[in-house]
Chains A and B, each alone.
Chain A
């Protein structure tokens, strides 16, 4: 079996095992072990020659995202190991929680690796169902509402994406004939120039709206803040870090197909519009948030919007900025969620007002959170600063009018984040509701993510740079 398939099936096999383990300690350790194996598999993909293996294909665009998924899957499982007890799950829920987590990891890997657009759609569907399950696990009214919203909105979203996929095949049908390769991304991209532009336009609108819902682009974002605030604390890191990337990656694949036909409306402009709306709405919504996890969920909407804006601009520099932004956002945002989740469990509340003075009470955690928020706010020297700088320079060179809304969005959001940084980390400590849990399972993942953000922000090693350059050529 080729390694990309193992990368997908290993977590699913692990999910079956985890669903059968009733003991908490054993299940938690098995979860970390399976995630570690999965992470090794994704790293091993570097050695696999690019190209097709049946329904999957490795290229420069999905390789870094899959590895990112493996790494964040591992760090999240370590974080989860220290924090699942405080969630207060009974045995059944614990088994469901671990199984859904691994199913989610496998599905997001498949969504990235799939060459067949039908398979990609199924993968995103499975990831959605797994995330609905994880969000609903607590069974509280707020969790149920969040899960119901996620289920309905994303259900409609993926349904529209399937409609788009069908229209895409309809456009290519006169040229591809019958068989599974009719939905192959590479085949469709090669044929796009001969396809009917009207059908391609229609297909792209449905694919953008459909997968855009999953990516949390405004105005289709309503599910995201609730889903990220109400699920178990560990889940938020993968929802924000991985699910959004997989969905945006699907939009990019669609853009690459449609964009290679000169007769279509420029797909980049649509993406740019959605992206800019997300950046602006998120920047101003941040000011009204009182719940720490919702605050950072809104910030995810803004960051995905920035990445969409960069990909909408397109070109080598634009796509490079977008890709770096996706990676930087996943790393730094999940770091923030590790720290915020830990603090929220300790303080017994996730309201911003209830969490304060973390630096005074626990310096390693407080400084880690402060640095992570600074990284998310786009301050140098972290990766998000590099990608935002690249995006702003590219916008200035190609679409100067874009600078005004973009800079407003960036600055307004950054000020809001610095304000929250001060409230969470500085000042006098708020009282703890329960004794602090194991610190290492928070601090390890937190500082590893920050280190990666810093290293990538300071400079890209040669082979990585070459990989990203090759990736930037793919979306067109």
Chain B
């Protein structure tokens, strides 16, 4: 690692903060707290994108930052919160894997991300490769969250956190064409719309958003 250069240091701090928030997502026991952590992660992502825009002199990244700030730090968490309050969804996190075990698995995944990315990216610029390791960690932790939570809202949160990691990777690569960032942002909105419709529909059929209940319907007649 190369300390002492401001652009690198700030990028690393922001990337590290996102990873920290991913871990927070994993150990929260209440849905409301998970949503707060997600909003914070969206805010840090916006800061990371804006910083990269400033460092790389790429104005389009400010747009990415703005979209992240509006959608991920404000609107989506607000909508999720409303959903939770309106339907009085289960406030306690139901897990398929215990909190402690999830954290251990999370640490193993971060180690895996670093072991995978750092050796193969020797040729790339230092800032890109370390950002990539952090981003991959966030992606893997998001995936872990999707696997280990049984609540539909938390699975959507996991998917969004996973996408935060993707955007962190995209903004860290200098010159990445704009189309990818814009489409990713659009994707998140659509995903949420779809996700919300699903939640409401599942909610209409069942008493909770516990997807463990849905899994009985395999269609293959018993």
Q: Taking beta carbons and an 8 Å cutoff, which residues of A are in contact with B?
A: 116, 118-119, 121-122, 125, 129, 132-133, 136, 139-142, 144-148, 151-152, 155-156, 159-160, 162-163, 165-167, 169-171, 173, 176-180, 182-183, 196, 198-199, 201-202, 226, 229-230, 289-291, 294, 351
Contacts and interface: CB of A to CB of B under 8 A. Distances in A.
B88 interface: no
Contacts of B162: 156, 159
Contacts of A125: 183, 187
Contact of B219 (A139, A171, A229): A229
Interface stretch (B33-41, B61-69, B73-81, B121-129): B121-129
Nearest to A182: B177
A121 B183 contact: yes
Given A179-B177, A196-B122, 9 more contacts: A116-B179, A136-B201, A144-B205, A159-B163, A163-B166, A173-B174, A176-B175, A182-B175, A230-B219
The winner among B180, B183, B217, B218 for most chain A CB atoms within 10 A is B180
The winner among A116, A169, A170, A176 for most chain B CB atoms within 10 A is A170
Contacts of A290: 220-221
- The size class of the interface chain B forms with chain A is 35 or more
Interface in B185-202: 187, 190-191, 194-195, 198, 201-202
A133 B193 CA distance: 11
A148 B202 contact: yes
A199 B179 contact: no
7 contacts: A132-B194, A141-B214, A144-B214, A145-B218, A159-B159, A166-B169, A183-B179
A166 B124 contact: no
A202 B120 contact: yes
A229 B214 CA distance: 16
Interface string B107-145: 000000000110111111000100010011001000100
A125 B189 CA distance: 13
B176 interface: yes
B136 A291 contact: no
Chain B facing A: main interface SS? helix
Given A129-B194, A163-B166, A202-B116, A145 B184 contact: no
B14 interface: no
Nearest to B195: A151
Nearest to B215: A145
B173 A169 contact: yes
A141 to B, nearest CB: 4
Task: Give 10 closest A-B pairs by Cβ, nearest first.
Answer: A198-B120, A196-B123, A178-B175, A141-B217, A142-B217, A122-B183, A118-B179, A145-B214, A142-B219, A118-B180
A140 to B, nearest CB: 8
A182 B170 CA distance: 13
A156 B143 contact: yes
Contacts of B135: 163
Contacts of B152: 148
A234 B71 CA distance: 36
B183 A159 contact: no
The winner among A146, A152, A179 for most chain B CB atoms within 10 A is A152
Given A230-B219, A289-B220, A351-B221, A139 B183 contact: no
Contacts of A180: 177-179
Contacts of A129: 190-191, 194
A220 to B, nearest CB: 13
B211 interface: yes
A155 B175 CA distance: 26
Contacts of B121: 170, 196, 198-199, 202
A163 B139 contact: yes
